[in-house]
Amino acid sequence: MAVSVTQMSIIVGILGALSFIFGVIAENKKPAAGTPITGKGVVICKYPSDPTVALGYLSFAFLVASTVAGYLSLFYPYKGKSVPQSVLFQSASFSTFFSISLFTGGLAATLLLWPTITEQFHLTRKVHHNLETTCPTAKTGLLGGGAFVSLDSALFWLVSLMLADNAREDYFEEVENECKPEYNAPAHLKGTA
pLDDT, tens only, 144-175: 999 999 999 999 999 999 999 888 888 877 76
Judge whether 175 lies within some domain: no
Q: How many domains are contained in the chain?
A: 1
192 belongs to a structural domain: no
Asked if the structure places residue 129 within a domain, the reply is yes
- Residue 4's alpha-carbon distances to 1, 7, 78, 123, 162, in angstroms, are 10, 5, 6, 44, 12
Q: Is residue 143 part of a domain?
A: yes
| Res. 123 pLDDT band, cuts 50 70 90 | confident
- Give domain status of residue 13, yes or no: yes
Give the residue from 137, 143, 141, 142 showing the smallest Cα distance to 57: 143
Mean per-residue pLDDT of the chain: 87
Give dist(CA 44, CA 46) in Å, integer: 6
**Domain span holding position 31:** 5-162
Determine, yes or no, domain membership for 44: yes
pLDDT of residue 127: 87
Q: Is residue 193 part of a domain?
A: no
Beta carbons of 133 and 36 less than 8 angstroms apart: yes
* Predicted structure pTM score: 0.84
User: Does residue 179 lie within any of the structural domains?
Assistant: no
Distance CA 96, CA 91 (A): 9
